[in-house]
């Protein structure tokens, strides 16, 4: 059988025809990030994020998620380029300050859509939050949570006894979802992993892969005896009685990565790591 080399993948068009000059820097409240912030601002200046062509985020993955949420909530259009001043830095690029504008012209973009969480508490209050990694529920006391799981209006699991449950974006599938033994999902997969956290009954249920159009509902059973908190990335709502989640395709944020280190490549490589 004759074999043929794979067809070349066309390169994405550059975001800028010339190196961007209007840069906004945002730094995590750590000594390392603030030190790098001062050095970069002296070298390149600093603009308000609403006036910038690109936002450079200095910190770790947690601060990157906070920055992306600010971009979404304020309706900013500038893409975000992360420079790692933290530990893991899965969403970040190396901390190299030289020739930053020129480096930005070679970056490759990934478009992310957030999950939108709406949670109602035992007090009757309703809270909404966005999450680019995941939304998870977790028991607040020593007793296991009892949760009913609904997908698109249909109760798929009347009672899940567990420490919690998690709905992840593809970008977040390598984070808490992976630690909870959930599947890694490619960015192009249009799938949302639904993963139990330490399930007791059904003991062998490993979760589900849902289409990105799915609307997921969690109802907390025996919520007074077994209180549960809901967390959207870093926003925690305690004593919830029901939580509804869906991917909000009306919102998008662009994240930039150095050549050869795109988010899709990082997610693919994670599937083959030890």
137 is in an annotated binding site: no
Q: Is 62 annotated as a binding residue?
A: yes
174 annotated among ligand-binding-site residues = yes
User: Does 61 carry a binding-site annotation?
Assistant: yes
Residue 38 marked in a binding site: no
Tell me the sheet residues that pair with 194: 167, 208
Q: Is 175 annotated as a binding residue?
A: yes
Contacts 24+ apart (CB under 8 A), 176-182: 176/133, 176/134, 176/136, 177/134, 178/270, 181/206, 182/207
Q: Is 171 annotated as a binding residue?
A: yes
Greatest Cα-to-Cα distance within the chain, rounded to the nearest angstrom: 68
Is 152 labelled a binding residue?
A: no
Q: Is 214 annotated as a binding residue?
A: no
User: Of 31, 61, 152, 239, which residue is the catalytic one?
Assistant: 61
Is 177 annotated in some ligand binding site? yes
Q: What is the 3 state secondary structure string of 133-192?
A: CEEEEEECCCCCEEEEEEECCEEEEEEEEECEEEEECCCCCCCHHHHCCCCCCCHHHCEE
- Is residue 61 annotated as part of the catalytic site, yes or no? yes
Query: Binding site: what residues are annotated?
Result: 61-62, 133-134, 163, 171, 174-179
Residues annotated as catalytic are: 61
Query: Binding site for NAD(+): what residues are annotated?
Result: 61-62, 133-134, 163, 171, 174-179
């Amino acid at each position: 059988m004759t074999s043929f080399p794979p067809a070349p993948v066309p390169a994405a068009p550059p975001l800028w025809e010339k190196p961007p000059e209007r840069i906004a820097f945002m730094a995590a409240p750590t000594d390392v990030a603030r030190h790098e912030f001062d050095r970069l601002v002296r070298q390149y200046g600093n603009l308000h994020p609403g006036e910038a062509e690109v936002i450079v985020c200095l910190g770790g993955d947690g601060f990157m998620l906070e920055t992306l949420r600010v971009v979404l909530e304020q309706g900013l259009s500038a893409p975000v380029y992360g420079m790692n001043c933290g530990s893991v830095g899965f969403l970040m690029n190396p901390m190299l300050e030289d020739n930053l504008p020129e480096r930005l012209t070679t970056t490759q973009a990934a478009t992310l859509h957030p999950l939108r969480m709406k949670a109602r508490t035992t007090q009757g209050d309703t809270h909404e939050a966005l999450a680019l990694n995941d939304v998870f529920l977790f028991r607040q006391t020593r007793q296991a949570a009892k949760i009913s799981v609904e997908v698109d209006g249909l109760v798929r699991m009347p009672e899940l006894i567990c420490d919690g449950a998690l709905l992840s974006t593809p970008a977040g599938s390598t984070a808490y979802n992976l630690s909870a033994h959930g599947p890694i999902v490619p960015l192009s997969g249009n799938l949302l992993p639904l993963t139990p956290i330490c399930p007791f009954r059904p003991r062998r249920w490993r979760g589900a892969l849902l289409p990105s159009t799915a609307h997921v509902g969690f109802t907390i059973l025996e919520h007074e005896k077994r209180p549960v908190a809901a967390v959207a990335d870093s926003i925690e709502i305690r004593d919830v009685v029901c939580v509804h989640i869906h991917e909000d395709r009306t919102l998008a944020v662009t994240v930039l990565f150095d050549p050869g280190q795109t988010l899709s490549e990082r997610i693919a490589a994670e599937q083959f790591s030890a």
